């Protein structure tokens, strides 16, 4: 079995996608894709069938990843988190698979699931979570499809949210964990200014009235806010979103609505002089 030590993927060598970093899965003896920056030197200092560690920098510690390799159909129950921050699940099986996410995950724990064999169109991968995934169940049914899920918990409302745009740490310091706001009552909520984080998730769970959200006024550049109807009630009680302090969204002062059940919107703040604005992406 190969023994990877220092691996350098230069520009033009990315066969997996525009952004990735390698993870070594010893169960299949392969480097498998995730998301980080092309052209980054990454040293795999620990590798076996369980956990690999990808250092962020010599002084900053590592980003620990556990592996699960699914080679038979039926139900796979993922274990509770250990010391790792992420578990990657490789599915190589010609049979339908059901994967149950950890029953008691830690906050900001991440699970990435990949149809490694390319059989999902005929043999779907059903993913269940005790707290739901965006409030429900997720099915991977396209060959080689993958999903990245993060568990959010602020003590009031918990749940798995799909976050396929996650870029895992490479040699730079790891990302500050995202902040979480749970809105469980109708009315106006003004989101707080960033406090070190670059991303905030807002989950809305109410059956009693409309929700009005004001995005932070003039946040740091590229600050991202993801707003989700976790209750599945936005068609009845829409979620209205504006910018606080006269900050515009798509260069407009008018409100934007989430009015589909379990709908979501993502906003990124762009600084461009008089054209500074949140953009809907």
pLDDT digits (tens, 9 = 90+) for 18-36: 333 444 444 444 444 444 3
How many degrees, rounded to 5, is the angle at CA 182 between CA 180 and CA 188? 115
Q: Which helix (H) or strand (E) holds 113?
A: strand 110-115
The residue that leads in pLDDT, 85 or 269, is: 269
Widest CA span in the chain: 59
Position 62 confidence tier, pLDDT thresholds 50, 70, 90: low
Residue among 115, 76, 75, 77 nearest 93 (CA): 115
Position with higher pLDDT, 212 vs 132: 212
How much is the average pLDDT of 64-70? 81
Q: What is the per-residue pLDDT for 135? A: 65
| Other beta carbons within 10 Å of 40 | 18
Bin 27: left if φ > 0, else alpha if -120 < ψ < 50, else beta: alpha
Using a 10 angstrom Cβ sphere, with 0-12 exposed, 13-18 middle and 19 or more buried, the burial of residue 110 is buried
Q: What is the pLDDT of residues 177-235, one digit of tens each?
A: 788 888 988 999 999 998 888 889 998 988 888 999 999 998 988 899 999 998 889 99
The pTM (predicted TM-score) of the whole model is: 0.48
What are the CA-CA distances from residue 133 to residues 60, 69, 168 (Å)? 32, 21, 21
Mean of pLDDT over the chain: 74
Rounded Cα–Cα distance for residues 182 and 204 (Å)? 6
Residue 225 to residue 267: CA distance in whole angstroms: 5
pLDDT of residue 63: 61
State the average pLDDT over residues 89-114.
87
Q: Please, what are the domains in the chain?
A: 6-162 (2.60.120.640), 179-280 (2.60.120.640)
d(CA 75, CA 68): 13
**Does the pLDDT of residue 126 top 50, yes or no?**
yes
**Residue 266 class from Cβ within 10 Å (0-12 exposed, 13-18 middle, 19+ buried)?**
middle
User: With 0-12 CB in 10 A as exposed, 13-18 as middle and 19+ as buried, what is 188?
Assistant: exposed
pLDDT band at residue 164 using 50, 70 and 90 as cut-offs: low
In this predicted model, what pLDDT tens digit does every residue of 237-248 receive, in sequence order? 999 999 998 899
The answer to whether 168 and 148 are in contact (CB under 8 A) is: no
Average pLDDT over residues 111-140: 85
Contact by Cβ (8 Å): 107, 136: no
Determine contact, residues 167/122, Cβ cutoff 8 Å. no
| Residue-level pLDDT at 71 | 82
């Amino acid at each position: 079995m190969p023994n990877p030590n220092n691996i350098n993927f230069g520009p033009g060598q990315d066969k997996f996608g525009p952004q990735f970093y390698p993870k070594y899965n010893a169960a299949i003896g392969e480097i498998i894709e995730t998301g980080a920056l092309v052209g980054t030197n990454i040293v795999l200092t620990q590798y076996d069938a369980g956990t690999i560690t990808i250092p962020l920098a010599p002084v900053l510690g590592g980003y620990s990843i556990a592996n699960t390799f699914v080679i038979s159909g039926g139900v796979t129950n993922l274990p509770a988190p250990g010391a790792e921050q992420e578990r990657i699940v490789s599915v190589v099986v010609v049979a339908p698979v059901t994967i149950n996410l950890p029953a008691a995950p830690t906050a900001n724990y991440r699970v990435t699931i990949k149809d490694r064999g390319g059989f999902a169109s005929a043999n779907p991968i059903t993913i269940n979570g005790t707290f739901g995934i965006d409030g429900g169940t997720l099915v991977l049914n396209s060959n080689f499809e993958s999903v990245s899920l993060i568990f959010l918990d602020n003590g009031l409302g918990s749940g798995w949210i799909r976050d396929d745009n996650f870029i895992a740490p490479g040699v730079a310091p790891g990302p500050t964990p995202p902040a979480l706001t749970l809105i469980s009552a109708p009315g106006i909520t003004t989101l707080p200014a960033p406090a070190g984080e670059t991303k905030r998730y807002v989950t809305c769970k109410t059956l009693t009235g409309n929700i009005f959200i004001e995005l932070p006024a003039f946040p740091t550049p590229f600050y991202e806010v993801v707003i989700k109807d976790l209750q599945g009630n936005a068609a009845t009680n829409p979620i209205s979103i504006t910018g606080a302090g006269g900050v515009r969204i798509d260069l407009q002062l008018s409100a934007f609505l989430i009015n589909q059940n379990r709908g979501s919107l993502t906003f990124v703040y762009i600084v461009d002089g008089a054209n500074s604005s949140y953009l809907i992406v």
